């Protein structure tokens, strides 16, 4: 059973379109992070959200943490080919000490020019 | 500030052999975590070390082990390699909070 359900798994869109990726769980997370990974490389941290209801913006990317800290979303406005990559959400479960992260399955985004 | 470094970047081994992977965290980071990434299972947590002590452990067999040195550098070892151990092994460092920074990974292929 996957603790973090990420959807959609695959997304192929045209340049200029908007998209949203969802990350859902029945567990409460003390923090949630979004990463972007290129083939053959390690994930690169995009953002960390820690407060329920928190919204963070990173240029054309908007991240939201659910009020109950069980879900999160990533919205990209006017996607560009450079946004292509694997997007991963990862949460630190509230009852877990230390730096252990639980990852979603990832969303493979392809933005076509 | 230099990022997380992992060596080697690529490894090819045969079944039954053992392998040691190395990770150097970001300067000042005392926590090092290891993850296994495969196409079918995604990123799975192996273990975390903090100040030379294992603080968390995932659900992997005892063939997977690790350690951390006084300079925070970490190694992980896999003994008696199996074909299913082929994966990208990722190391991540943090100051001890949940925000983690990943290295480029070691691609292990078991033949």
Chain A residues within an 8 Å CB radius of B99 = 31, 33, 45, 48
Task: Tell me which residues of chain B, numbers 3 to 22, contact chain A at a CB-CB cutoff of 8 Å.
Answer: 4
Select the residue of A30, A88, A98 nearest B43 (Cβ to Cβ). A88
User: A61-100, pLDDT tens digit by residue?
Assistant: 999 999 999 999 999 999 999 999 999 999 988 666 677 8
Q: Check residue B97 and give its pLDDT.
A: 67
**B40 contacts: CB under 8 Å, gap ≥ 6:** none
**What is the predicted pLDDT for the residue at A93?**
80
Q: How confident is the model at residue B107 (pLDDT cuts 50, 70, 90)?
A: very high
Confidence (pLDDT) at B1 = 66
Q: Name the nearest CA neighbour of A13 among A77, A74, A89, A105.
A: A77
The shortest C-alpha distance from B38 to chain A (Å) reads: 10
Q: Which of A23, A31, A5, A28 is nearest to A98 (CA)?
A: A31
Is A40 within 8 Å of B107 when comparing Cβ atoms?
yes
pLDDT digits (tens, 9 = 90+) for B52-96: 999 989 999 999 999 999 999 999 999 999 999 999 999 999 986
Looking at every residue in chain A, the average pLDDT score rounds to 93
């Amino acid at each position: 059973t996957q603790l973090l359900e990420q959807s959609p798994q695959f997304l192929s869109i045209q340049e200029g379109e908007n998209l949203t990726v969802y990350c859902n769980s029945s567990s409460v997370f003390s923090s949630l992070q979004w990463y972007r990974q290129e083939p053959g490389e390690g994930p690169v941290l995009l953002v960390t959200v820690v407060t329920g209801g928190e919204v963070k913006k990173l240029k054309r990317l908007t991240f939201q943490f659910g009020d109950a800290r069980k879900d999160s979303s990533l919205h990209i406005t006017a996607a560009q080919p450079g946004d292509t990559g694997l997007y991963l959400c990862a949460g630190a479960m509230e009852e877990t000490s230390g730096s252990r992260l639980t990852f979603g399955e990832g969303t493979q985004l392809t933005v076509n020019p | 500030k230099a990022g997380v470094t992992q060596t080697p970047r690529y490894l090819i081994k045969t079944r039954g052999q053992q392998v040691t992977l190395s990770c150097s965290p970001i300067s000042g980071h005392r926590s090092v975590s290891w993850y296994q990434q495969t196409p079918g299972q995604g990123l799975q947590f192996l273990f975390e070390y903090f100040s030379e002590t294992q603080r968390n452990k995932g659900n992997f067999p005892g063939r997977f082990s690790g350690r951390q040195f006084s300079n925070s550098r970490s190694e992980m070892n896999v003994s008696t390699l199996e074909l299913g151990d082929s994966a990208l092994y990722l190391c991540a460092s943090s100051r001890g909070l949940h925000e983690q920074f990943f290295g480029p990974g070691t691609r292990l292929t078991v033949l």
